[in-house]
């Protein structure tokens, strides 16, 4: 089946990175642009860290640790241990080789380069054919409201291991942040939009919170917007999506995810085991189909990517 490229995928961290790898391996070189959440970015040790950008980039470059899904394969942690001895925080386990990315990014940003430019430089250096774009060059920070008070995202996610109950989420800076010209162009040119199986609240949520992006994701003739559920049954393969959906009073299912993305979604791929949900999608006016959505290796990533692209072609028009 012909694929109408270019394709734009919206992604957060590990789940998004996996589907991005599948899409990149399926589409012609250069046909894919991934717009990545940056609201999880943080500064530690004076270094600018962009966890989701790095996860997408390392996965696309084939550098990532396939067990944990993020970081660099076989990386060591000597630097973070010495930083800890120096009194720095160690809860964010930066790898030794990984550190080079944060050092380089920080240096280039301090020289005045935009995050979009730095990301492009890093991707070029890593021979990545896919265009990887931060959702914005402006600072946006996910803040998690919990019974213990408002937490920075990585404090909630890593330092506290997602244990606090989430009673609200806000994206500090999103109101004034602008999408970049590169994001605008990619969305203008895209013939297919893919929502990766990323947390709809804290991974796709920040991207959708950028006003310019929202508008450019609006319904457009012959441009399918296809999502993939990060929830299978009533659980997420990884991360706090399920607990977060529940505590924020969403359905803890693929259906709950689709409801959140509803205004920007035409079609949704759910896991085989959620086949019983298909009728409910009719009520949502969202087309749905099932697929094997667990991506444990390259072939399952490519198979899911192909299913998503086939679905897009089928509903185009």
Which residues here bind a second copy, judged by CB under 8 A?
45-47, 75-76, 78-83, 85-88, 96-97, 99-101, 103-104, 106-107, 110, 121-122, 125-126
114: helix, strand or coil: coil
Q: How far apart are CA 246 and CA 234, in angstroms?
A: 10
Q: How far is the CB of 309 from a second copy (least distance, A)?
A: 31
Q: How far is the CB of 152 from a second copy (least distance, A)?
A: 18
Residue 74, phi-psi category: left (phi > 0), alpha (psi -120 to 50), beta (remainder):
left
Give the residue with the Cβ less far from a second copy, 60 or 204. 60
228's tokens: 């993939």
Give the residue with the Cβ less far from a second copy, 88 or 139. 88
274 burial (CB, 10 Å; 0-12 / 13-18 / 19+) is: buried
DSSP state letter for 196:
-
Q: How far is the CB of 106 from a second copy (least distance, A)?
A: 6
Give the residue with the Cβ less far from a second copy, 50 or 192. 50
Report in angstroms the alpha-carbon separations of 65 from 62, 71, 161, 179, 266: 9, 6, 20, 30, 33
What is the CB neighbour count within 10 angstroms for residue 9? 29
Q: How far is the CB of 197 from a second copy (least distance, A)?
A: 29
Q: How far is the CB of 116 from a second copy (least distance, A)?
A: 16
CA 102 to chain CA centroid, nearest Å: 19
Name the strand (E) or helix (H) holding 305.
helix 298-315
Q: Which residue has the tokens 């390392």?
A: 58
Q: How far is the CB of 179 from a second copy (least distance, A)?
A: 26
Q: Are 246 and 286 in contact (CB under 8 A)?
A: no
Give the residue with the Cβ less far from a second copy, 100 or 275. 100
Q: How far apart are CA 32 and CA 87, in angstroms?
A: 42
227's tokens: 């999502």
Q: How far is the CB of 132 from a second copy (least distance, A)?
A: 15
């Amino acid at each position: 089946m012909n694929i109408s490229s270019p394709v734009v995928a919206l992604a957060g961290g590990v789940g998004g990175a996996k589907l991005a790898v599948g899409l990149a391996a399926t589409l012609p070189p250069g046909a894919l642009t991934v717009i990545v959440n940056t609201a999880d970015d943080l500064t530690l040790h004076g270094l600018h860290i962009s966890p989701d950008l790095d996860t997408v980039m390392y996965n696309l470059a084939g550098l990532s640790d396939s067990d944990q899904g993020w970081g660099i394969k076989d990386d060591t942690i000597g630097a973070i241990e010495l930083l800890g001895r120096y009194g720095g925080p160690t809860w964010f386990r930066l790898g030794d080789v990984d550190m080079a990315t944060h050092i380089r990014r920080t240096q280039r940003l301090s020289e005045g380069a935009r995050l979009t430019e730095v990301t492009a430089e890093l991707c070029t250096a890593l021979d990545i054919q896919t265009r990887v774009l931060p959702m914005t060059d402006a600072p946006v920070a996910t803040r998690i409201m919990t019974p213990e008070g408002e937490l920075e995202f990585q404090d909630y996610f890593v330092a506290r291991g997602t244990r606090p109950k989430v009673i609200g989420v806000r994206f500090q800076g999103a109101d004034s942040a602008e999408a970049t010209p590169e994001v605008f162009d990619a969305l203008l040119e895209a013939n297919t939009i893919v929502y990766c199986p990323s947390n709809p609240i804290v991974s796709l949520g920040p991207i959708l919170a950028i006003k310019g992006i929202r508008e450019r994701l609006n319904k457009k003739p012959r441009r399918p917007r296809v999502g993939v559920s990060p929830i299978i049954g009533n659980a997420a393969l990884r991360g706090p999506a399920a607990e977060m959906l529940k505590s924020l009073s969403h359905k803890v299912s693929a259906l709950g995810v689709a409801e959140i993305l509803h205004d920007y979604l035409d079609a949704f791929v759910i896991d085989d085991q959620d086949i019983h949900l298909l009728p409910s999608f009719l009520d949502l006016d969202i087309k749905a189909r099932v697929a094997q959505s667990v991506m444990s290796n390259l072939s399952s990533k490519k198979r899911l990517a192909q299913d998503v692209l086939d679905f897009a072609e089928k509903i185009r028009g």
